[in-house]
Amino acid sequence: MTLLETIRKRRSQRAELLDTPITEEHIHDLAEAARWAPSPFNVQPWALLFVTDPEAKAALGRMSRESTAEQLGSADFVQDVARWTSVTEDEWRARGDGVFLGDQLAESSLAHTVAPFLMKHTKAAALLGKLGAGQGPGKATERLLVDAPLVCVVFRDLARVSPGANGDMWTSFAIGAMFQNLLLVATDLGIGAQFVCAALETPGGRRQVGALLGAGPSLEPALILRLGYLSSDADKLSVRRTREAFVGRNRFEEDT
């Protein structure tokens, strides 16, 4: 694969991953890819933990279940999600952004029938969430982490902030570059990855995850990924806006 092909092939894999453990050699390659990411002043503001311990995965899963269920009880959150969710694949392709509702739900879930209605009636959805309807999606999120052969937690190292008034922002960019390196090498190795970040949504959640994993005071969990070998080479659909929609030359025109 050329690099551009690998970039296009990378997906947030929602499908089942194989149980096969990720080899030490491949974990080494993922870490090596992360290691060579750029960062402002080369501060390398990150740390990585590869988690295989079943108890730690179970605890991360439980935290993700609770956070997901709580989020789905918030009308504001559900409304934000609805804004970025397409109910049909055609709508999703035409928009070229956001996520497809069918991808977000478990295959056999009853939610497939009611979810389109709930996306239009977000207050009702949040009310149902408060009454416990978020437990289903919460449990699905939990299983993603419990069943994953490998979980990778990316930390931002607050003791390694880049110089300058905008250091925080430059540091976040570096972390993005770091995990994209890791994801591209994973794609090349036939390893699927999915972000499962619900547990990190709030400062309290980030503290809990850090404490669970023994992170020192300067390490803030930034991202949770589940990783596993993919069962087939099948390309999963995703969409993007056209290049013309966001790439320009020289300066923006009046109507952009």
Ligand X SMILES: Cc1cc2nc3c(=O)[nH]c(=O)nc-3n(C[C@H](O)[C@H](O)[C@H](O)COP(=O)(O)O)c2cc1C
Residues near ligand X, by CB under 6 A: 11-12, 99, 195-198, 238
Residue 210 beta carbon to ligand X: minimum distance, rounded to whole angstroms: 17
Q: For residue 48, what are its two tokens? A: 């990585």
Pure H helices in the chain? 3-9, 24-35, 54-71, 75-83, 89-95, 101-104, 111-120, 122-128, 135-147, 167-188, 203-212
Residue 175 beta carbon to ligand X: minimum distance, rounded to whole angstroms: 9
Residue 231 beta carbon to ligand X: minimum distance, rounded to whole angstroms: 17
Residue 13 beta carbon to ligand X: minimum distance, rounded to whole angstroms: 8
Closer CB to ligand X, residue 15 or residue 124?
15
Closer CB to ligand X, residue 124 or residue 189?
189
Residue 218 beta carbon to ligand X: minimum distance, rounded to whole angstroms: 21
Closer CB to ligand X, residue 49 or residue 197?
197
Residue 120 beta carbon to ligand X: minimum distance, rounded to whole angstroms: 21
Q: How many CA atoms lie within 13 A of 187 on its CB side?
A: 23
- Is there a contact between 159 and 218 (Cβ–Cβ < 8 Å)? yes
Distances, alpha carbon 143 to alpha carbons 65, 124, 169, 226, in Å: 9, 26, 33, 11
Q: Distance between alpha carbon 136 and the CA centroid of its chain, in Å?
A: 19
Closer CB to ligand X, residue 40 or residue 192?
192
Residue 46: strand pairing partners: 156
- Is there a contact between 101 and 109 (Cβ–Cβ < 8 Å)? no
Please work out, in degrees rounded to the nearest 5, the angle formed at the alpha carbon of residue 251 by the alpha carbons of 247 and 255: 80
Closer CB to ligand X, residue 196 or residue 227?
196
Closer CB to ligand X, residue 133 or residue 144?
144
Contacts of 73 (CB under 8 A, 6+ apart): 126, 129, 130, 134
